[in-house]
Chain A
């Protein structure tokens, strides 16, 4: 078959891809539509991709800064920012020694890290140790510490650091630089793409996490956005409770369905904003780190 003939059937490839693309983004359109629909139109017509009657009440409610939502936003933001910064620090600090071929404990240390990916004590011992012995229950640290030293990210960064020029590091050693300084003034500045990849993956992990909250957080003041959304979904009363706090809406005409969707969009929003940045680094980052580990 000639080149022109091949081109002749190439358009067929677009059909499955277009369908997949549509299926992947359609739910977001649905959520936006529901969040903008009036309560009456939802009752009358059900959910739909195009609002029958536009209504901004859901957003008025969510943006009226109900204390719980603002708090949850704050907790999520704090956990994500602090968690990501600390995690990058801790992960690079161990990835650097692991990338040094002349480090005598390299093999043992790598085994120590990798073994945690193969075997773990499981949910119950972890839960009991963290809550009863470390006393982290209902503290913000329970949402941060367990994810700090992520073995997978350590392995990814180690692989990247190991590809850096050894001559530069050796030269710095000869010049009398401490290992600490080599890491922070040489290795880290040379590794920006890798740190960006791991950093964004860490942001995603912290922001989207609800599991640690579900396990360790009973105090509603420490709910993250994801946890609050889950609680509101599981229990419509929670939603009304939050609505009552605001005092600006009558419970009777509270747009619970659309408010939930507005809330979900607000929860997903920040990730959708950083999404284009992920996109840029991902194809490379994924293959470098994930496959070759």
Chain B
């Protein structure tokens, strides 16, 4: 339909410009030629996506094979569901699933609440210079890589030299061996994740608030609304759709953990696995350290399929809630 209209317009413009319409009067052949050129343009990306995304999708058969490097993908023997059985009957399955979901859920809830809070405060700041200063500094951690962040965390938590233990000692407490205390790590990871992403989130919500119709605020001010009334009855309700959508998108990704956070910041310390091992670190270890390729693929497939189902459900929810914001 759209295409037809576009074609008609081209014809009309051509007529206006005094060009012979006959040369591409037969719309279909022109459209086909044009489509071929556009397809050629898209080709490099199509090929790259094919190689790095679609071909590996075929590789999920590995989950049902006992993969041996020398025999390759086709030569290796089929083992049915053995890889899955092995994984799901181990204690690991439960542990990594619970860790992934519960930690991610914590990150999402705290991150959303924190970002909205700071976005609202930022929005109410009138001093332009200071506002820019806040924006810049809170965005800052987003630009640091995980290896750098891991080193920063190490500088804080190192047993002998770290800032935190020095502070504890100064107040007369015993130093803590942070890297061998699994119970505290969910909170450390939460803090690090919050630190890295809260400013980024706040600026997204801030941009959302900036796009609101100013007249609501003016009307509220005329009616004598207090700051808190403005927040509760103007800003928050208007921000709600954006919050819900971003929240749902994050929920759709709850099965995928931020590998750098869990692998680098924890220094991949085995002592901490009970609270920090997530699906992504588990798959990586099975692949690169233990070399159990069959099981690593099975766990990867489990993650991909559950993740896919989650994203589809989330999209369904968004479509129900506000159709124009649905992802597809």
Chain A residues proximal to chain B, CB less than 8 Å = 1-3, 6, 9-10, 13-14, 16-17, 20-21, 23-25, 27-28, 30-31, 34, 42, 45-49, 89-91, 93-94, 96-98, 100-105, 109, 112-114, 116, 118-130, 132, 134, 145-146, 148-149, 151, 154, 166, 170-171, 173-174, 178-180, 183, 204, 207-211, 215, 226-227, 229-230, 233-234, 257, 260-261, 264, 267-268, 271-272, 275-276, 278-279, 282-284, 286-287, 290-291, 293
B81 is an interface residue with CB less than 8 A from chain A: no
Please encode chain B, from 132 to 153, with 1 for each CB lying within 8 Å of some chain A CB and 0 for all others: 0111111111011111101110
Closest to A173 in B: B10
Q: Are A20 and B134 in contact (CB under 8 A)?
A: yes
User: Which residues of chain A come closer than 8 Å to B155, judged between CB atoms?
Assistant: 27, 30-31, 34, 47, 261
Q: Are A286 and B204 in contact (CB under 8 A)?
A: yes
Q: Are B130 and A14 in contact (CB under 8 A)?
A: yes
User: Which residues of chain B come closer than 8 Å to A275, judged between CB atoms?
Assistant: 136, 139-140, 143
Closest to A16 in B: B121
Q: Are B152 and A30 in contact (CB under 8 A)?
A: yes
Give which listed residue, B133, B208, B288, B303, contacts A21 with CB less than 8 A: B133
Q: Are A122 and B297 in contact (CB under 8 A)?
A: yes
Q: Are B284 and A123 in contact (CB under 8 A)?
A: yes
Q: Are B59 and A210 in contact (CB under 8 A)?
A: no
Those 7 A-B pairs whose CB atoms lie nearest each other, nearest first: A125-B59, A122-B300, A121-B56, A102-B6, A94-B45, A208-B145, A97-B38
With the chains together, A25 CA to B121 CA distance in Å?
19
Interface residues on B, range: 35 or more
User: Which residues of chain B come closer than 8 Å to A124, judged between CB atoms?
Assistant: 59, 62, 283, 287, 293, 296-297, 300
With the chains together, A180 CA to B308 CA distance in Å?
36
Q: Are A16 and B158 in contact (CB under 8 A)?
A: no
With the chains together, A215 CA to B137 CA distance in Å?
32
Would A121 and B147 be within 8 Å (CB), given that A130-B52, A257-B161, A279-B135 are in contact? no
Give which listed residue, A25, A129, A170, contacts B56 with CB less than 8 A: A129
Q: Are B139 and A128 in contact (CB under 8 A)?
A: no
With the chains together, A116 CA to B55 CA distance in Å?
11
User: Which residues of chain A come closer than 8 Å to B41, judged between CB atoms?
Assistant: 93-94, 96-97, 179-180, 183
User: Which residues of chain B come closer than 8 Å to A125, judged between CB atoms?
Assistant: 56-60, 62, 297, 300
Q: Are B198 and A20 in contact (CB under 8 A)?
A: yes
Please encode chain B, from 54 to 68, with 1 for each CB lying within 8 Å of some chain A CB and 0 for all others: 111111101000010
With the chains together, A121 CA to B160 CA distance in Å?
43
Q: Are B150 and A24 in contact (CB under 8 A)?
A: no
Would A21 and B283 be within 8 Å (CB), given that A101-B6, A121-B53 are in contact? no
User: Which residues of chain B come closer than 8 Å to A233, judged between CB atoms?
Assistant: 147, 150-151, 154, 267
With the chains together, A112 CA to B39 CA distance in Å?
13
Q: Are A116 and B53 in contact (CB under 8 A)?
A: yes
Would A123 and B300 be within 8 Å (CB), given that A47-B162, A104-B31, A267-B145 are in contact? yes
User: Which residues of chain B come closer than 8 Å to A118, judged between CB atoms?
Assistant: 308, 311-312
Give which listed residue, B17, B19, B44, B311, contacts A93 with CB less than 8 A: B44
User: Which residues of chain A come closer than 8 Å to B208, judged between CB atoms?
Assistant: 287, 291
Most A-side CB within 10 Å, residue of B62, B151, B208, B301: B151
User: Which residues of chain B come closer than 8 Å to A109, judged between CB atoms?
Assistant: 42, 46
Please encode chain B, from 196 to 217, with 1 for each CB lying within 8 Å of some chain A CB and 0 for all others: 0011000110111011000000
Most B-side CB within 10 Å, residue of A24, A183, A278: A24
With the chains together, A171 CA to B179 CA distance in Å?
65
With the chains together, A109 CA to B40 CA distance in Å?
12
Q: Are B118 and A128 in contact (CB under 8 A)?
A: no
